[in-house]
Chains A and B, each alone.
Chain A
Amino acid sequence: MALTELIEKSSAGTMFELSGVLDKGTQQLTDRIPNSISLNAGCELFNLFVTVATHDLGSLSDFKDKLVRQGNRYIAEAALYSEKIAGFTNGFVKDGSVILTHSYSRVVMKALLHAHKRKRISVYVTEAKPRGLGLKTYETLTAAGIPCTVVLDSTVAYVMDKVDFVLVGSEAVVESGGLINATGSNQIAIIAKHANKPFYALAESFKFRRLFPLSQYDLPTHGPGVLPFPRHIPEAPPAPLINGQPLVDEFKDAMFPVSISTGSWTQKSMSAEQVALNPEVDYTKPDLISLVISDVGILTPEGVSHYLVGMFAG
């Protein structure tokens, strides 16, 4: 995603000095962009490349030149990766497939549009609250003439039986073979597993990330700010239990002081602050993923870990 930009920037960084600057540049980028997971994957790759390439280093300026050139070349190549992934994915799409996808991902869009040229497909896309990126997917697909329906995030289980397979993009694929993606991917994967439907993740190889999260709370995005309980519970006036209806309303009003009090409970929605407490990404365990389709080939989740080990240790 922001990766190409990153390499451009960090390769510019090498022009000024060397790895120190590169690290700083990485840090800056990480700070500036709220969702740093896939960004970091790119940084790691570039840093690794710099370290490995140092072995046959001639003069410093030559080396810097080379790095910039390589960086730019990689940007050019990386642009083609999604095409390649779309080609691989096409093999998994049968004529008449019903596909469920989550939120918006460029690779998935490419893959779906590619498949649309050859086969009849229809797509369910989740709304993907809070950002509602599913609607963007909906618009793009409908514009391309693919029958597409938006489903609520809470309706995934309902729709799963009608679906042939699930196709999601990724923020990053981690060393365990698991997947980091927009929140909701995990629950979709769990439901897909339960319904015995294949769950495919599409990831360019620059999204392979050297992380080994064991649970949701090991992600770099997790912190004390994510879903805390209120320090002190706002005092609800102890209302007598005999009065059923008013009690509920009053209690809720006390719990969520910011929500729009229109009188009728059904119209209330979460406030921006409440939304902000929710995580942006979640972690899907490898056993829920059928295959990771990447530009270096179609891999099982175990294959991804082999791959990452080979890449960073070999």
Chain B
Amino acid sequence: MPEGVQAIAYQRNIEVLVSKLRRRQIVGSRRAALETLLVLRQVVSKARFSNIEQLVEIIHSAGRRLVEAQPKEFSVGNTVRKVLHHIREEYRTAAKKAPEDTALSISKLVYQGQPRRRGVAPKSEMDVDLKEDDPDDPDSFARSLKPVLMEAIQDVFDELETVYDSISKSAKDHIHSDEIILTIGQSTTVESFLKAAAHYRNFTVIVAETGPSYRGHGMAQSLSEAGISTFLVPDSSIYAIMSRVSKVILGAHAIIANGGMFAVTGSLLAATAAQAHSAPVVVCAGQFKITPLWNLYQDYSALDFSDPSSVLGFEEGNLVDKVDVINPYYDYVRPDLVHAYITNDGDHPPTSIYRLIKETYNDEDIEL
């Protein structure tokens, strides 16, 4: 591990973000992803390393700290993985190494079936002389590689910044005129998606209140301000109105490798009701929410729990010690309940999410 003032400087950055994540001062997957990226940029720019392994190790350890701080904010880990993937790609282009050694073997043949890794377009054609582990000048490697890496990180950053726009781009292909759309909660992605579609189409949105946070209220307000005809309904009537709904559009907290997702509570209710009425369920989410995780702990323990006071406050004092109140924040929605994911990386059925994961992240980085 590098020592010295610079190292301490970025360690402090990490600590700040860690405690922010712990205290839930950063909520929302995109925000967390952005903050993570900023810290990683600091880390890369300040870190001292003389070969790629050292750099990867530095980022791994930083990533591990962040993920442990808030293991249920999956986008943090995803961002770290994505940055690592980019760094590896850049290094490979810069070092002009053949992507894989070309010697044939049977096991290689088997791997041909694997989804091709997506090459990241190289940032610069410069002919840097990469001297790894140069004993005379240990910084030379870092010096020559850093500008490229910073650009790579900037790319990830730009992608995150524009994620809503790029998802909304396809909005008018998914929403037709006179459709009745049900949504739940307040997902910025869904919000911008619907607003983008409203430029081209006339449709109606039914927003469920989404208790106990009632973020549906804000969503309904924002949509109707944008000139979309909007109805706000209580959660309990989702099933009853589903027969009139032509499409369910949901946001996601995280999409996992088997094609299932974590989404705000009530999503499972809406998705199940939609299945009963054969209404398609479409999920809008940025690619940074795709998490290389199988539904390992899909039950109870995977869900984040929030403050029970919104369900049963202290005003009901004499009840408080008689009942256990749980207020799970997310639902796990099984892959067979979702019909399509709309991401900034194109539209995908739940069954090919695992392929996106193979393409986006390196296998070595899945375990941070």
Contacts and interface: CB of A to CB of B under 8 A. Distances in A.
Nearest to B299: A94
B333 to A, nearest CB: 14
Interface string B310-354: 000000000000000000000000000000000000000001101
B107 A77 contact: yes
Interface string B108-122: 011111110000000
A70 B297 contact: no
B294 interface: yes
B5 interface: no
The interface centre, meaning the residue of B104, B109, B294 with most chain A CB atoms within 10 A of its CB, is B109
B104 A302 contact: no
B350 to A, nearest CB: 9
A300 interface: yes
Contacts of B352: 302-303
Interface string B193-219: 000000000000000000000000000
B112 A314 contact: yes
Nearest to A299: B354
A256 interface: no
A298 B257 contact: yes
A53 interface: yes
A71 B109 CA distance: 12
B126 interface: no
Contacts of A49: 104, 106, 109
B98 interface: no
B25 interface: no
A39 to B, nearest CB: 16
Interface in A255-314: 290-291, 296-300, 302-303, 306-311, 314
B1 interface: no
Interface in B292-314: 294, 296-297
A291 B106 CA distance: 24
Given A298-B257, A306-B355, A91 B113 contact: no
A56 interface: yes
Given A92-B296, A302-B352, A296 B104 contact: no
Contacts of A300: 258-259, 351, 354
A296 B351 contact: no
Contacts of A71: 106
Interface string A52-77: 11001000000000000011011001
Contacts of A309: 113
Nearest to B358: A297
A65 to B, nearest CB: 14
B109 A296 contact: no
B106 A302 contact: no
A49 B297 CA distance: 40
Interface string A38-57: 00000001101100110010
A206 interface: yes
Contact of A94 (B105, B114, B297): B297
A77 B106 CA distance: 10
B162 to A, nearest CB: 29
A137 interface: no
A48 B294 CA distance: 32
A311 B258 contact: no
Nearest to B106: A74
A205 interface: yes
B294 A298 contact: yes
Nearest to A93: B296
A58 B320 CA distance: 81
Nearest to B352: A302
A77 B296 CA distance: 28
A311 B112 contact: yes
Given A298-B257, A308-B113, A310-B112, A303 B351 contact: yes
B355 A303 contact: yes
18 contacts: A52-B109, A56-B104, A70-B106, A74-B106, A94-B296, A291-B294, A298-B294, A299-B354, A300-B259, A306-B355, A307-B113, A308-B113, A309-B113, A310-B112, A310-B114, A311-B109, A311-B110, A311-B113
Interface of B: 104-107, 109-115, 257-259, 294, 296-297, 351-352, 354-355, 358, 363
**6 nearest A-B residue pairs (beta carbon):** A311-B113, A307-B113, A310-B113, A74-B106, A302-B351, A205-B110
Interface of A: 45-46, 48-49, 52-53, 56, 70-71, 73-74, 77, 91-92, 94, 205-206, 208, 290-291, 296-300, 302-303, 306-311, 314
Given A74-B105, A296-B113, 11 more contacts: A45-B106, A73-B105, A94-B297, A291-B258, A296-B111, A297-B354, A300-B258, A300-B259, A303-B352, A311-B109, A314-B113
